[in-house]
Amino acid sequence: MRHCTLVELAGERGIRLPAALTEDWPPRLSGTDERGWFRFQRLYDTARSVLRRPGDVRRLLTETAQDERADGSGWLEIQVDPSGYAGRFGGITDMIELVLDAATAATAATGVGIGVIVAANRTKHPLEARTLARLAAQYVGRGVIGFGLSNDERRGAAHEFAAAFRIAERAGLLLDPHGGELAGPASVEACLDELHADRIGHGVRAVENPAVVKRLAAEGITCEVCPSSNVALGIAASPEQVPLRRLAEAGVPVALGADDPLLFGTRLTAQYEIARHAHGFTDAELAGLARMSVLSSAAPEPDRSRLLAGIDAWLAAELPARNTRGSG
């Protein structure tokens, strides 16, 4: 959500926002302990609370697609937990249909394709995750492309959600749980062993165990890395300490993402800037990251070919331009 949209909708609905979402925005965050994570989650829930009408959801999706397009993205995958909105929008089925309808309209308005990942919440009962997995399975081919697992990975062991992921796996959905962020490399292994992950949200703490890194590389499991998020939540002390290059040089597929731009204050382009300036990624390496974000996505043809061609065209144009500037 755009910050200005949050403030506007909160004002219209008489919702008082904390200072962290107004004059002190973007907020100072921490996820390294339960108190810090609770504060982060409370701010997240406060932001969600301003969505009260179907038009709010449609606006959110359209503005998000507009902002992604402005940042150079042509395909967006969003994780949605329908149960978090069910009470306001008629239940989980009505909510997912609203999101899918809004996504279709946003794509028509912006040209940015959108795939929806239905995400269960680790802090809720595993039976709810099974319900959401069945819901996701019903919408395969109609905009839902994956199934995820979010919230504090220090709570809700992966094996408790294995049955939900088997439902999603049988339906052919992309399996995309969070892991290796708040908890260490064992949580990454659990995502692989128990949840059969195709991608892992974050995964950066895999570097604490070389065997886990080798496994990610060997199995071609993509890690969705957001340097700004890692720094904001205290996972890394600075952008330079995010193990982006270590993962990439070890052969782990890496796709950069913006995580939660509203709370972190940055979007996609900022992650590529960190890769260039904090980690020394060259144009060719940045193009490699961009390609991986396409190849590890559920983007359909011809979107995939179009996006890959755009990356190649950028690199072909950028290299001569840099050589010209360098020789001047």
Using alpha carbons, list the distances in angstroms from residue 38 to 216, 265, 304. Answer: 30, 19, 38
Q: Of the residues 68, 153, 181, 189, which is catalytic? A: 181
CA atoms within 13 A on the CB side of 158: 23
**How many C-alpha atoms does 308 have within 13 Å on its Cβ side?**
13
Please indicate whether residue 219 is annotated as part of the active site: no
Predicted pLDDT of residue 303: 94
> Looking at residue 324, what is its pLDDT?
61
C-beta of residue 206 within 8 angstroms of C-beta of residue 247: yes
Please say whether the beta carbons of 253 and 220 come within 8 A.
Answer: yes
pTM: 0.94
Spatial contact of 106 and 76, defined as CB atoms under 8 Å apart: no
The alpha carbons of the chain give a radius of gyration, in whole angstroms, of: 19
**Rounded-to-10 torsion of CA 122, 179, 235, 247:** -170
Strand partners for 115: 77
Beta strands in the chain, from DSSP E residues, in sequence order: 75-80, 113-121, 144-150, 174-179, 199-202, 222-225, 254-256
| Tens digits of pLDDT across the chain (328 residues) | 999 999 999 999 999 999 999 999 999 888 888 788 889 889 989 999 999 999 999 999 999 999 999 999 999 999 999 999 999 999 999 999 999 999 999 999 999 999 999 999 999 999 999 999 999 999 999 999 999 999 888 888 999 999 999 999 999 999 999 999 999 999 999 999 999 999 999 999 999 999 999 999 999 999 999 999 999 999 999 999 999 999 999 999 999 999 989 999 999 999 999 999 999 999 999 999 999 999 999 999 999 999 999 999 999 998 776 666 554 4
